[in-house]
Amino acid sequence: MTTQFRGVVPPVVTPLREDRTFDEASFDKQINRMIDAGVHGLFVLGSSGEVAFSTDARRREVLAATQRVVQGRVPVLAGVIDTQTERVIEHIRVCEEYGVDGIVATAPFYALGGEAQVERHFRALREATDLPIFAYDIPVCVHTKLSVDLLIRLGKDGVIQGVKDSSGDDVSFRLLCLRNKEEGHPLALFTGHEVVVDGAYMSGADGSVPGLGNVDPDGYVRQWNAYEAGDWEAVRAEQDRLADVMKVAMSAKGISGYGAGVGGFKTALQLMGVFESNQMPEPVSALTGENVEAVRAVLVRNGLLEG
Amino acid sequence: MTTQFRGVVPPVVTPLREDRTFDEASFDKQINRMIDAGVHGLFVLGSSGEVAFSTDARRREVLAATQRVVQGRVPVLAGVIDTQTERVIEHIRVCEEYGVDGIVATAPFYALGGEAQVERHFRALREATDLPIFAYDIPVCVHTKLSVDLLIRLGKDGVIQGVKDSSGDDVSFRLLCLRNKEEGHPLALFTGHEVVVDGAYMSGADGSVPGLGNVDPDGYVRQWNAYEAGDWEAVRAEQDRLADVMKVAMSAKGISGYGAGVGGFKTALQLMGVFESNQMPEPVSALTGENVEAVRAVLVRNGLLEG
Amino acid sequence: MTTQFRGVVPPVVTPLREDRTFDEASFDKQINRMIDAGVHGLFVLGSSGEVAFSTDARRREVLAATQRVVQGRVPVLAGVIDTQTERVIEHIRVCEEYGVDGIVATAPFYALGGEAQVERHFRALREATDLPIFAYDIPVCVHTKLSVDLLIRLGKDGVIQGVKDSSGDDVSFRLLCLRNKEEGHPLALFTGHEVVVDGAYMSGADGSVPGLGNVDPDGYVRQWNAYEAGDWEAVRAEQDRLADVMKVAMSAKGISGYGAGVGGFKTALQLMGVFESNQMPEPVSALTGENVEAVRAVLVRNGLLEG
Amino acid sequence: MTTQFRGVVPPVVTPLREDRTFDEASFDKQINRMIDAGVHGLFVLGSSGEVAFSTDARRREVLAATQRVVQGRVPVLAGVIDTQTERVIEHIRVCEEYGVDGIVATAPFYALGGEAQVERHFRALREATDLPIFAYDIPVCVHTKLSVDLLIRLGKDGVIQGVKDSSGDDVSFRLLCLRNKEEGHPLALFTGHEVVVDGAYMSGADGSVPGLGNVDPDGYVRQWNAYEAGDWEAVRAEQDRLADVMKVAMSAKGISGYGAGVGGFKTALQLMGVFESNQMPEPVSALTGENVEAVRAVLVRNGLLEG
C-alpha cells in the first residue's frame, strides 16, 4: 500500500456560526479557496479542525461537506482521533462511508500504557481498514512521543503509510527522514510546524500540514514549488514571511492554547471575508476587541488585508 | 443541590469475555458482591471502568446493566469522560436516560487551554443538566490539575457537588478539605488513592473511591466504619493490610500503566471466581503466566484466596 | 551503621541581613528557639536553608555557626546538595570538619542519566565518608524520583541510613514505609510535607522535616508527642491548625516558588522578632507591602503574633 | 558591547585519564585539532565539557589549559554554570582570571522561581562583570525555557550578547531570529543541536555549538562555509552526513543520557587516537564492549576511522 500524499496539505479549520452550528457555506468557500491556491491535499478533522470538540454528528457534517465540495479534486485525509482503539475504529468506519483517501490517528491517550500498547493500537487499526493510515505524532496533546524505531517498524510492515509530525522535535524528525530514506521510503513524512517548514524540507520532508495554510495557502504553495525547484533562498524567504503571518495565532492576550491559535486563524478568516464568524466551540471563547485588532494588524502588514 | 454520596464508592471494573464483549453475568456478580459488602455507592464508567476504551454502545450496556442490577440499593455515579464539552454533554444525556444519581467529569483534554476554559467547561455542564456533578481531578490522564480555588468557587456556585481526587497531591487535598469546611462544606470530597485512604480521612475526606475496592470491598468498608467510630488505629492497620493487597495491581513485569493496574484487578477477580476472564480492551493485553501467579500470591497471603 | 534521628527535625532557614551577609545573631536565636521548643534534631543547608544559593564560604559560615550554637544538644543533619558526585563529596569533606551527625544528598542533577547512575552516585558517597547518609527525594528540584526498590536496596546495603521524602507522592511513601518495616527497618523515614505530616505518621514515618517548623516548632513537637502517645485526634487537630499556619508560605501575590515559600517563613520570623530582616538571596526578592501583611494576618489569627 | 562570536564554536569535551584526573595532553591535541580544522571559537566547560561534574579545581585546570594552548588563536567561551546567582558569579570571577572572551550562563536551577527571577539573575550577572554573556537555553537540564521576549529584552538592554539555544524548540528559535533581526541584531544566536544545524541556518543563526564538532570539526566547518557561500544543497548534504556520524552518541544499549552522548564522543575520540581514554566522571560509566564497537562502526562507515 502506498499513499499519494505529497506537498502542502492544510488541516482545515471548521467554521461555526454564532450559535455554534456548522457553517457549511463558509466551509465551502474555504475549501475552494485552498484548492484554487494549489494545495495538494486537505486534512479535515485534525486538531485544528476541532476534532476533539466535535460530536459524532458534527464529524459527519464535516465529512459530508468535504466529500460534496472537494469532489476528488485533491486527496483528503480525515482525523479519527479519539482516546482508545475501539473508539478510533468507529470513526474509521464513518470515514470509509465518506470516501476519504487516508485517515490520521494519534497514539491512544487518557489511559496510560507503554510503547507495546501504542504499537498494538496502530496494528489493530490496520486490521480494521484498508485505508492508508497516517500516524499523528502530537505529544503536546496525547503525551506520548512516537519513536523513530516504532514508526519505521510500522512503516516497513505496511501498518502505516505516513506520519504527520507535530512533535516539535526537529532532531527526531531529521533522524526519521534519514531512516525512512535508508529503508526505501515506506513513509510519507509531513511536518505540522508552519514556522519551520523550510527546516523540515531541508530534512527531506514529503510535505507540510500547516494550520496557517488556512490563512495563506498561496505562501505555502509558493514555498513548496521553490523547494521542488531547489530554490532554497526562496524557500527561506517565504518562510520568514510566513513566520510573521503566523502571529495571527500568537498575539492574543489573556487567552492561551487553542483559543489563541485556532481562534487566531478563524479571526483572520473572518476579517478576510472567508468565514462569517470567528466563533469557537465550547468551552473556548472567540477572540474579541484588541485581540481581533492584533490579528488585523498582522494581516494588513503582510498584504493579506487592506489597511 | 446537595449530594447523598458519602463513604466507600468503588469505581466498578468492567468485565469482558475473551472475545471482548461485555460480560454481564460477571458484572452482576461483582455489583451484588460489593453491595453485600456494604459499599455506600458505586461509580461506573470511571477510569478503572475503562471508559476511555468504551464505545458509546458499550457505555450504554454498562449503564443499562447497572440500573437493572443495582435497583436503587445504593446511589450510582457514572463517568461522562470525554475530550471536550459537547461530547461530555452527549454522555450526560445518556446517563440521564439510565437514572444515575450523579455524573463525574474531568477537565477537558487533548486541546490545550487555561483555567478559564476549564471553569467554563464545568459551568456549561451545569447548564446542561440537573444531575449532581463530581469534578474528577486526574492530571495523570488529562494533564490539568484542578486548583483548590477553582473547585471551591464551583462548589459555592452550585456548579459541582463533589470532587473525586486522583491527583496524587495530598497537600492540595488537605487544603481543599480545610477550605471546604470553612465555606460550609459545599462539596463532597473523595480520594481515589486506595493506598493512603487513612491520610485522606485524617484530612477530613467524605469518602473514598478505591479501585481496589473491587477486589476487597470488605476491607474498605471496615476501614470506613472504624473512621466513623474514631478508631484510628483500626483505620491505619486496615490501610497497611490494603496496601499489601494493592500489590495485585503493582506486580506485573513487562507491562505498565493500565494493563498492570486494572489488569491486576481483573486477574484477581478472575482468580477469586467473580469474573469469567481477565480480558482487557484493545490495545491492552491481559496478564498471563507469571504475572497471574504474582497476583495469586498476593491474594493468598492476604487470605482472599485459598493457597 | 544506624542513625539516631527520629522525631521533628526542621530544615533551618538561613537569615540574611539587608546587605545579604549571613545574620549570625538571628540564626543563633532561631536555633535556640527551636531547641527550646523540643525539636529532636536540626537540618541545615537544606533546600529551605538556601543551599542552592549559597557559596562555599556561606556554607561554611552556616556550618560553623551551627556547631557553635547547637553544642551537641540535638543531632544535626547537613545538606551537601550539588549537581554531581565529585562536587557533593567536596561538601561532605567540609561537613566532616564541622562535626555534623549526618549528611543529606539528592540524586545528581543537571546532566541526564538513569537509575544506575543515581545508584552509583549514592554508593560513591558511601565510599567517601563514614557519616550517615540521608537520601533526599525531591523530584521538583532534581527531576528524578527515587524508587522504593532503589531506596530499600541502598538501605539494606548500608549505603544510606535514612530518607527525607519531599516527593509529594504519598502513595510511594506508604509503600516505602511498608517495605522498610518488612526489611527490618534499615531506614529512618522522614516526610518533608508539613501540611500532611499526620498522613505520613499514619504511614509509619519516623519523623518529619517541616519547613514550617521554623515558624511554629511547638506545634510540630506537640503533634509528635501526640503521635507517640497514640492520640490520633490530637495529631489530626494539630495538623489542621498547622495547615492554616502554612498559609504564611502560600499567600504571596505576584511571586511564586521559593520567594513565596521560604520568603514567607522569613517574613513570619521577622514579624515575630526572631529575624532582623526577611532578606532573600539573589535573584529572589523579599516579600514587601501587602504580601507582608498577608503573612501577618495568618500569624495573628493563629495566635503566633499579637494583633 | 558586542561579541565577536560567529561560525562554528564546538563545546569542548574534557578528556580524563583512567583514574579520572584531567588528561591535559589529550586536551591539547583536541584543541589544536579543532583549531586546525578551522573552527571559529571554542566553548569550554559547557554541558558536554562536564561542567556539572567538575569541582572548582577541575574548572581551573580546564581554564588554565585552554588559555595556555589556545593562545588567542580563536575566541573562547567558558561555562559558569551553577545553581544560583552568587555561585555563578564566583565562577565568573575565575573565568576573568583566565582571560576568556565570553561566559555562558543558564537560568538558575534547583530552587523554583518565575521569569522575574530568571531576568534578575541575568541582570545581576551583568552587574558583576564586563565580559560578554551568552544565555544558555537548555530546559532539559534546568527545566526553564527562556522566552523570546525575555531574551530580546535582555539583548536590547545590553545584559546579554548572545544565546546558545539547546532548547530543542525550533519554532521558538525561528521567532527569536526574526525578532533579533527586527531589533537590529543585538544578539549572536547559536544552535546547539548538531543534527539540524541546516534548519537553524535557514532560520538565520549566527553559528552553531555542535558537540559532535569534537569528533568531526571539518564537517561543521565545511557546512558553515557552504552556508556563507549560499550553497544550500551542500549545507544540507553535509548535515545528512553529520546526522549519521551523530550515531556515535546515540547507539549505546543499556545506558542513557550523558553516558551515551558524551560517552559516545569520548569513545570516538579514543578510537580516533585523540584521547588516551574514554573515561567518564563519577557517577557515569564509560562505554565498553559492544557499545564501543557500535561507535567504531559509525566512524568507519563515515570514513573517520579505517576499518
Asked if omega into A281 is within 30° of 0 (cis), the reply is no
Return the sign of the alpha-carbon dihedral for residues A116, A118, A122, A124: positive
Q: How confident is the model at residue A67, as a pLDDT?
A: 98
pLDDT at A2 > cutoff 80? no
d(CA A218, CA A142): 31
Query: Which positions in chain B touch A121 (Cβ < 8 Å)?
Result: 282-283
D164 is catalytic: yes
Q: Is A282's CB within 8 Å of B58's CB?
A: no
d(CA A87, CA A79): 12
- The mean per-residue pLDDT over the stretch A6-10 comes to 97
Q: Can you give the pLDDT of all 307 residues of chain D as single tens digits?
A: 667 899 999 999 999 999 999 999 999 999 999 999 999 999 999 999 999 999 999 999 999 999 999 999 999 999 999 999 999 999 999 999 999 999 999 999 999 899 999 999 999 999 999 999 999 999 999 999 999 999 999 999 999 999 999 999 999 999 999 999 999 999 999 999 999 999 999 999 999 999 999 999 999 999 999 999 999 999 999 999 999 999 999 999 999 899 999 999 999 999 999 999 999 999 999 999 999 999 999 999 999 999 8
Q: Is D240's CB within 8 Å of A193's CB?
A: no
Q: How confident is the model at residue C232, as a pLDDT?
A: 98
pLDDT at C2 > cutoff 80? no
Q: Tell me the catalytic residues of C.
A: 136, 164
Asked if omega into C283 is within 30° of 0 (cis), the reply is yes
Taking CA atoms, C106 is separated from C135, C139, D102, in Å, by 6, 9, 32
pLDDT at C72 > cutoff 90? yes
Q: Is C171's CB within 8 Å of B193's CB?
A: yes
User: Closest residue of A to B46, CA-based?
Assistant: A111
Q: How confident is the model at residue D73, as a pLDDT?
A: 97
Percentage of chain A surpassing pLDDT 90? 97
Sorted by where each begins, the domain ranges of chain A are 8-231
Query: Which positions in chain A touch B55 (Cβ < 8 Å)?
Result: 86-87, 90
How confident is the model over A113-137, as pLDDT tens digits? Answer: 999 999 999 999 999 999 999 999 9
d(CA D100, CA D95): 6
CB burial of residue A18 (10 Å; 0-12, 13-18, 19+): exposed
pLDDT at C99 > cutoff 90? yes
Question: Which pLDDT band holds residue A1 (cuts at 50, 70, 90)?
Answer: low
Whether the model pTM is above 0.95:
yes
Q: Do chains B and D touch (3 or more CB pairs under 8 A)?
A: no
Q: Neighbours of A (≥3 Cβ pairs closer than 8 A)?
A: B, D
pLDDT at A297 > cutoff 80? yes
Task: Name the catalytic one among B29, B98, B136, B227.
Answer: B136
Query: Which positions in chain C touch D84 (Cβ < 8 Å)?
Result: 52-53, 281-283
Query: Which positions in chain A touch B140 (Cβ < 8 Å)?
Result: 112
d(CA C247, CA C216): 12
How confident is the model over C178-219, as pLDDT tens digits? Answer: 999 999 999 999 999 999 999 999 999 999 999 999 999 999
Mark out chain C residues that contact chain D at CB-CB < 8 A.
47, 50, 52-56, 58, 81-87, 90, 108-114, 116-118, 120-121, 124, 140-143, 255-259, 281-285
Q: How confident is the model at residue B1, as a pLDDT?
A: 61
Positions of chain B with pLDDT under 50: none
Q: How confident is the model at residue D270, as a pLDDT?
A: 98
Q: Is D209 annotated as a binding residue?
A: yes
d(CA C250, CA C259): 10
> Nearest-CA distance from C168 to chain B in Å?
6
Class of domain C8-231: alpha beta
Q: Is A230's CB within 8 Å of D233's CB?
A: yes
Those residues whose C-beta lies under 8 Å from the C-beta of residue C44, and which sit 6 or more positions away, are C11, C12, C14, C62, C63, C66, C76, C77, C78, C79
- Phi, psi angles (nearest 5°) of residue A256: -130, 170
The secondary element (H helix, E strand) that includes residue A227 is helix A217-229
- The mean per-residue pLDDT over the stretch A32-58 comes to 98
Task: At B273, list the grid cell.
Answer: 471466581
Taking CA atoms, A172 is separated from A147, A151, C264, in Å, by 8, 11, 44
How confident is the model over A148-207, as pLDDT tens digits? Answer: 999 999 999 999 999 999 999 999 999 999 999 999 999 999 999 999 999 999 999 999
Q: How confident is the model at residue D256, as a pLDDT?
A: 85
Q: Is D140's CB within 8 Å of C116's CB?
A: no
Q: Which residues of B are annotated as a binding site for pyruvate?
A: 209
